[in-house]
């Protein structure tokens, strides 16, 4: 496991 | 004027215990409908969404919407000063520089007031869409905490695999491996201990033990935890907070290289 996206990748700012 | 009173300070103490390892600071959004917090950890890998509804408070008044940036460490220190049976009141002016925490003993003979300076924070508010999850697992929060604790000894990540038959937690490390399987409860009469799975599609995802260990600090808030999982989207780990609201933790899955 090397990759982990961050929250803004999943939930963009509206 | 903002004023919110809870008869039991223990609820707020438990909420702070449930976020203090993840967050340094957070903006508390206060409105007529209640108090909401949305904040990411420093690495932005996880997100905490806290909702405390105004009707769950014993007294609630919010004349105009407020955004109060608070140091979680300071707030936690202050709440440690409250007795478990004390009533807690949060109070702030309309354009506040500070927020007051007022603790009153149940016999009303001791009144303590702590004032905390607010922090100016850049607000980064993410839009979390309504999501339909492939698997929703309801289980004992104590059992989940125990599995996270036990498996964390064996690896940095826990893989959660959910099928109609049950849910399997696996950790693999240099020293060996561990897995725990929970079958769906056939007779869910003992509701709090039951394992209930609503599944559309089987899922298998891996998550960092470090974050899961922080999430299970919410265990004293609720005897049940709800895990919502879909492939390639963040896990949602939800604990109800009595009749007043809920805390949701979102965690980005590990991606196989």
CB contact under 8 A, A7 and B250: yes
- Would the pLDDT of B150 be above 80? yes
DSSP string, B165-209: SEEEEEEEETTEEEEEEEEPPSSTTSGGG--EEEESS-EEEEEEH
pLDDT digits (tens, 9 = 90+) for B98-125: 999 999 999 999 999 999 999 998 877 8
pLDDT classification of B95: cutoffs 50, 70, 90: confident
| Chain B nearest C-alpha distance from A10 (Å) | 7
**Residues B50, B109: Cα–Cα separation, whole Å:** 32
Highest mean pLDDT among A8-12, B151-155, B162-166: B151-155
Query: Which chain B residues touch A12 with a CB distance below 8 Å?
Result: 126-127
pLDDT digits (tens, 9 = 90+) for B4-17: 999 999 999 999 99
Q: Please name which of B210, B249, B239 lies closest in space to residue B40, comparing C-alpha atoms.
A: B249
CB contact under 8 A, A4 and B206: no
3-class secondary-structure state, position B123: coil
CB contact under 8 A, A13 and B124: yes
Q: How many CB atoms lie within 10 A of CB B210?
A: 15
What is the per-residue pLDDT for B140? Answer: 96
- Would the pLDDT of B206 be above 80? yes
pLDDT digits (tens, 9 = 90+) for A1-14: 557 899 999 998 77
Of A5, A9, A11, nearest to B127 by CB-CB distance is A11
3-class secondary-structure state, position B78: helix
- Supply the ipTM of this predicted assembly: 0.89
| Contacts A–B by Cβ distance under 8 A | 56
Q: Strands (DSSP E) along chain B, which ranges?
A: 2-6, 25-31, 34-40, 46-53, 59-62, 66-71, 87-92, 98-104, 111-117, 135-140, 157-162, 166-173, 176-183, 196-199, 203-208, 224-229, 235-241, 245-251, 254-255
- Would the pLDDT of B194 be above 80? yes
What is the per-residue pLDDT for B68? Answer: 96
Q: How many CB atoms lie within 10 A of CB B117?
A: 12
Query: Which chain B residues touch A11 with a CB distance below 8 Å?
Result: 47, 126-129, 250
What is the per-residue pLDDT for B82? Answer: 96
Residues of B with CB under 8 A from a CB of A: 40, 43-47, 124-129, 157, 206, 208, 233-234, 250, 252-257
């Amino acid at each position: 496991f090397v990759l982990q996206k961050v929250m803004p990748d999943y939930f963009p700012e509206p | 004027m903002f004023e919110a009173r809870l008869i039991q300070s223990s609820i707020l103490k438990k909420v702070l215990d449930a976020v203090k390892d993840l967050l340094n600071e957070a903006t508390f959004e206060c409105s007529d409908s209640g108090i909401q917090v949305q904040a990411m950890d420093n690495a932005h890998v996880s997100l905490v969404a806290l909702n405390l509804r105004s009707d769950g408070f014993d007294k609630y008044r919010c004349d105009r919407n407020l955004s109060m940036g608070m140091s979680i460490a300071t707030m936690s220190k202050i709440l440690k000063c409250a007795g478990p049976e004390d009533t807690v009141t949060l109070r702030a002016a309309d354009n506040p520089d500070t927020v007051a925490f007022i603790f009153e003993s149940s016999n009303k003979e001791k009144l303590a007031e702590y004032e905390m300076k607010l922090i100016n924070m850049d607000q980064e508010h993410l839009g979390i869409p309504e999501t339909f999850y492939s698997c929703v697992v309801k289980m004992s929060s104590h059992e989940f905490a125990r599995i996270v604790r036990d498996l964390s000894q064996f690896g940095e990540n826990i893989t959660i695999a959910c099928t109609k038959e049950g849910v399997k937690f696996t950790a693999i490390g240099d020293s060996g491996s561990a897995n725990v399987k929970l079958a769906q409860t056939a007779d869910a009469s003992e509701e709090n201990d039951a394992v209930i799975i609503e599944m559309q599609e089987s899922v298998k995802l891996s998550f960092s033990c470090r974050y899961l260990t922080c999430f299970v600090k919410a265990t004293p808030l609720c005897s049940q935890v709800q895990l919502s999982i879909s492939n390639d989207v963040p896990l949602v780990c939800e604990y109800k907070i009595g009749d007043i609201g809920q805390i949701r933790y979102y965690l980005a899955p590990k991606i196989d290289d």
